Amino acid sequence: MKKKRPSLKDIAEVLNVSTTTVSFVLNGKGKEKKISDELIAKVEAYLKEINYKPNLVARSLRTGSTRILVFMVEDISNHFFSKVGRLIEDISYKNDYRVLFCSTENDLKRTQDLIQVFHERQVDGFIIVPPPGIQEDIENLIESEMPVILFDRKIPEIDCDYVIINNFEGAKNSSEHLIDSGFKNIAFITIDLDQVQMHDREAGYIAAMNEAGLTPNILKLPYNTSTVGSSRETMKEFINNSKDLDAIFFATNYLSQSGLKGIHQIDTQLIDKLGIVSFDDSGFFEMYSPTISAFAQPVEDMAENLMRIMFQKLKNKGNAKPEQLVLEGTLVKRESSKAKVV
Amino acid sequence: MKKKRPSLKDIAEVLNVSTTTVSFVLNGKGKEKKISDELIAKVEAYLKEINYKPNLVARSLRTGSTRILVFMVEDISNHFFSKVGRLIEDISYKNDYRVLFCSTENDLKRTQDLIQVFHERQVDGFIIVPPPGIQEDIENLIESEMPVILFDRKIPEIDCDYVIINNFEGAKNSSEHLIDSGFKNIAFITIDLDQVQMHDREAGYIAAMNEAGLTPNILKLPYNTSTVGSSRETMKEFINNSKDLDAIFFATNYLSQSGLKGIHQIDTQLIDKLGIVSFDDSGFFEMYSPTISAFAQPVEDMAENLMRIMFQKLKNKGNAKPEQLVLEGTLVKRESSKAKVV
DNA sequence: ATGAAAGCGCTAACAT
DNA sequence: ATGTTAGCGCTTTCAT
């Protein structure tokens, strides 16, 4: 009744060969180890016959490698992260690595927990979008020789590998695009989060406004996942109170989505009077009416670089000095930022 | 330089105790195994001091259990699946299980591969939304005593545990709601997929239409993730050619999303003339303008039942006859299905 | 060309 | 109350 899964030893016994032989054949090292063709054939036939599945836990214990990578982002259902994730998965797959996805929700406790879980389970590397406060845990990870690459945002205090984009330029370009479309009272709606990428986006917006001789108008929402509704109310108030407001630049795609909902709630027609650009693209933006312009990050480029660095670290066993990449994104112009006909 | 992670043995040596003692303390069995309080304290202090992290790969090899569950759905970024996933994760966490999420994309090859990967890695159980053709692999899994629960859809040929909803009733209710709102020419847009849940939704729609003396009007799109664009063109043609069409009932939330985009492309105002209901809710629907009505599945209920059954199977080591649950959903009425003022 | 055997880090039955 | 030790299933060095 209890059909325990056959082990290498069981197979060796049945075939009257040693476990060594079976192991070599299993790992395709038969030729290399000069095992006779007929024996190889015999073993392979049997492995296939019983549909043998090696116990990878045992293999990992022995080899010290799980061939598992972890991709830990703020929210894997976010268009940007899932897109990069998918690309990373493909590249990993071709190199015989699997990748595990998880969402930190930008929550420190949760992230620490995830890092711990995967570290204990001996994964081979981490790609992490670091939430605030995670610095020490990241340092510990690196300390213990674990390959770690930061993504989307860096931690200035740590000198480690990262792949990010030029947030300042992206925000500046986006703002300038709205200005070029003739908008004058452009607001910037962002999150009150002490992280570099947010500061840079804000700075980019302010720079563009100043250069154009326009007055910045900024709303900083408290960062708190649990009160999405209340922050939308704040947005609505802000929009209502901003005199002559004619355009909004949102600092993230989820802010835009919440904002669009708020705009719709204020007045069904309001969206047609406002210029909108969002930082970070989203599948939603193409579908919305009007379609929403967005500053898109170079996902393929990011994924490729991330994996190039990762494989390098996996080989070099953690010497080599950190690679720190700052890539450029592209502004995708859609209906929402077109000049309004007066 | 190379700071190998300390093992239980290393710790035992440093403290001049046996590995057993350390192991017992580590696993909180100190009291139970009558280890003196002072020794327990001493060991615990040291474990904390060096920030010891046990090698869970070794533990799993020894115990035969990884305390990992896999939640394998069509697309984890889909609102419905991610919501259930999150609930499952919470419940698992409280019971000291971790859950790994992955997307099958309803692709047979990919799913087989994922099953194999996780099976080899000795996960403790699977919750699977089965893609077409996966029957045999599921049977093998169950055969090998792996706890498996089907979710969202069943495979009629296999007598195993599953948790699904009453698709027929859900589709019938949704259709009736449109009929009650005064719509007469209600189309049903679905996927041409030979799976029970799709057949049931179609049947529910047809039943409602027939009972109301209305004529069904069905569009079946080919199932093929790679040609989303072309299927939208088909939808647009269908909508244009359906004389006097005044409402659409979409069979899935992603069809709705694509459909809404198509409707927007045909004519910006068209959406205001059509009644819309979608099967499966989505965060998008609350945000769209107008907000979209949807037949929502009882996510909490599903998650709780899924985990109740899973834990039971984990304990019983696979005897017990299969539990087969069919739950009811709820129609969430929003703007899109309101009677149109003429 | 093939096999014996050590050992990865942990748990737990058994011994003392 | 604490220690000794046998494995879990696999890889790989060394021996033959």
Give the model confidence (pLDDT) of A251-286 as tens digits.
999 999 999 989 988 988 899 999 999 999 998 898
The whole-angstrom distance between A194's CA and the closest CA on chain B is 27
Instruction: Judge whether residue B48 contacts strand D, using its CB and a 7 Å cut-off.
Output: no
Strand partners, B42: none
Q: Is A287 on the interface with B (CB under 8 A)?
A: yes
B86: nearest CA in chain A? Answer: A103
Strand C bases near protein CB (under 7 Å) are 1-13
CATH of domain B8-54: 1.10.260.40
Of A61, A268, A288, the CB nearest to B61: A61
Q: Can you tell me whether residue B162 is helix, strand or coil?
A: strand
Instruction: Judge whether residue A15 contacts strand C, using its CB and a 7 Å cut-off.
Output: no
Do the domains spanning A64-165+299-328 and A167-297+331-337 agree at the CATH topology level?
yes
Q: Can you tell me whether residue A280 is helix, strand or coil?
A: coil
Q: Is A267 on the interface with B (CB under 8 A)?
A: no
pLDDT at residue A53 greater than cutoff 80:
yes
Taking residues B42-49, what's their average pLDDT?
90
* Structure tokens, A271: 């969206």
Of A101, A121, A288, the CB nearest to B57: A121
Say if the Cβ atoms of B57 and A122 lie within 8 Å: yes
Indicate the length of chain A as a whole number: 342
pLDDT tens digit string along A182-231? 999 999 999 998 889 999 999 999 999 999 999 999 999 988 755 567 78
Indicate the length of chain B as a whole number: 342
pLDDT tens digit string along B297-336? 999 999 999 999 999 999 886 667 899 999 999 999 999 9
pLDDT attached to residue B155: 94
pLDDT at residue A2 greater than cutoff 60:
no
Residue A115 near residue A125 (C-beta atoms within 8 A): no
CATH class of A64-165+299-328: alpha beta
Residue A100 belongs to what H/E stretch? strand A98-103
C-beta within 7 A of nucleic chain D, residues 16-45 of A: 19-20, 23-24, 26-27
Query: How far is B16 from B27, CA to CA, in rounded Å?
Result: 19
**Best residue of A57, A105, A266 to probe chain B, by most B CBs closer than 10 Å:** A57
**Where are the domains positioned within chain B?**
8-54, 64-165+299-328, 167-297+331-337
Q: Can you tell me whether residue B277 is helix, strand or coil?
A: strand
Assign B2 a pLDDT band (cuts: 50, 70, 90). very low
Taking residues A32-40, what's their average pLDDT?
86
- Orientation angle between helical segments A135-143 and A108-120, nearest 10 degrees: 10
First to last CA, chain B: 80
Query: How far is B56 from B144, CA to CA, in rounded Å?
Result: 23
Of A54, A77, A260, the CB nearest to B77: A77
pLDDT tens digit string along A146-182? 999 999 999 999 999 999 999 999 999 999 999 999 9
pTM assigned to the model: 0.88
Of A98, A101, A288, the CB nearest to B117: A98
Q: Is the dihedral angle over the CA atoms A235, A240, A243, A245 positive or is it negative?
A: positive
CA B70 to chain centre: 11
pLDDT attached to residue A194: 86
In which order are the strands placed within the sheet that holds A148-151?
A98-103, A68-73, A125-128, A148-151, A162-165, A324-327
Residue A265 belongs to what H/E stretch? helix A253-266
Residue A85 near residue A79 (C-beta atoms within 8 A): no
Query: How far is A289 from A286, CA to CA, in rounded Å?
Result: 8
Instruction: Judge whether residue A62 contacts strand C, using its CB and a 7 Å cut-off.
Output: yes
**Secondary-structure breakdown of chain A: helix, strand, coil percentages, each rounded to the nearest 5:** 50, 15, 35
Residue A206 near residue A216 (C-beta atoms within 8 A): yes
Residue nearest to nucleotide C2 (CA to C1'): A21
Comparing CA positions, the residue from B8, B101, B117, B55 lying closest to residue A119 is B55
Pairing of strands A125-128, A68-73: parallel
pLDDT at residue A1 greater than cutoff 60:
no
Comparing CA positions, the residue from A284, A294, A229 lying closest to residue B292 is A284
* Structure tokens, A132: 């605030």
pLDDT attached to residue A32: 86
CATH of domain A167-297+331-337: 3.40.50.2300
pLDDT at residue A3 greater than cutoff 70:
no
Say if the Cβ atoms of B53 and A119 lie within 8 Å: yes
pLDDT attached to residue B1: 37
DSSP H stretches of helix in B245-282: 253-266
Comparing CA positions, the residue from A289, A70, A173 lying closest to residue B98 is A70
Q: Is B94 on the interface with A (CB under 8 A)?
A: no
pLDDT at residue B283 greater than cutoff 90:
no
Instruction: Judge whether residue A7 contacts strand D, using its CB and a 7 Å cut-off.
Output: yes
Burial degree of A190 (CB within 10 A; 0-12, 13-18, 19+): buried
Distances (CA, A) of B220 to A193, B188, B250: 47, 8, 11
A-chain CB neighbours of B117 within 8 Å are 98
Query: How far is A70 from A128, CA to CA, in rounded Å?
Result: 8
| The one-letter amino acid at A38 | E
A52: nearest CA in chain B? Answer: B120
Q: Measured in angstroms, what separates residue A63's CA from nucleotide D16's C1'?
A: 26
- To 5 degrees, how large is the angle CA A278–CA A282–CA A284? 105
